[in-house]
Amino acid sequence: MQVANPYRLDGKCVLVTGAAGGIGRACAKALVAQGARVVLADRTPIPGAELATLGDSASSLICDVSDRASIAKLREECPRVDALVLAAGILPFDDWLDPAWDESFDRVMAVNVRGSLNVVREYFQDMCDRGSGSIVFVGSASGRMGGMQAGPHYTASKGAVHSLVRWFAQRAAPKGVCVNGVAPGSIATEMLEGQVFDTARVPMRRMGTAEEVAWPIAFLCSAAASYMSGAVVDINGGLIFS
């Protein structure tokens, strides 16, 4: 059956992790605008006033993606979703030569890599059994090119995320589930506050906005992307990788 507007998400439930952050928050707004019912999940509560701007189509839950028990509880509270947006992530700017850096490395991997895995493990089989669903991982240009300002822990974690896109896509596509990712460049969110950014590095000569990442993600959650699986979409202002 042909869909009148395949970009619309009416009747779909989308779970967004990291929804208190810039990209996650922007995703929630874009998804609601396309008709989705959105569940915003984060370690910190979503402010009531912000949630109210999304209307009755949005609700929020608290979870820590790095904690399997927390994600199991999330699944109990939100048992069925049509799409996952895995936007939870951390980017510490610290010295990798510091003896205490090992703890930072472990935390980055726990959130950025295992955190995404924890969420997918709860919902993946149900999507495959139903024969439908979309999963969108949020990677990074750092995972493509080896990092610009980001440290080796973040760069390695996002490279791993891109590999997970392809690993899950191979197993999901035969079941009718689409798994894709996005690789944002430098985006003006809280994550990069206080960092000096050289716009000359980017062909568009500016940082991106969270909304410019959110709309491609909304597309990947929609029927308009029904023949896409295993792609990592670059959203980086024109950076070209050799």
Catalytic residues: 154
Domain ranges of the chain: 13-235
Q: State mean pLDDT over 219-232.
A: 98
Instruction: Please tell me the distance from the alpha carbon of residue 32 to that of residue 94, in angstroms, as a whole number.
Output: 36
Residue 133 exposure: Cα atoms within 13 Å on the Cβ side? 28
Q: What angle do CA 230, 208, 12 make, to 5 degrees?
A: 50
Q: Are 134 and 95 in contact (CB under 8 A)?
A: no
Instruction: Please tell me the distance from the alpha carbon of residue 111 to that of residue 92, in angstroms, as a whole number.
Output: 12
Q: What is the pLDDT of residue 178?
A: 98
Fold of 13-235: Rossmann fold (3.40.50)
Instruction: Write down the mean pLDDT value for the chain.
Output: 93
Amino acid at 160: A
Report residue 59's pLDDT band, with 50, 70 and 90 as the boundaries: very high
Q: Would you give the DSSP letter of residue 187? A: B
pTM of the predicted model as reported, rounded to 2 decimal places = 0.94
State what percent of residues in the chain have pLDDT above 70: 98
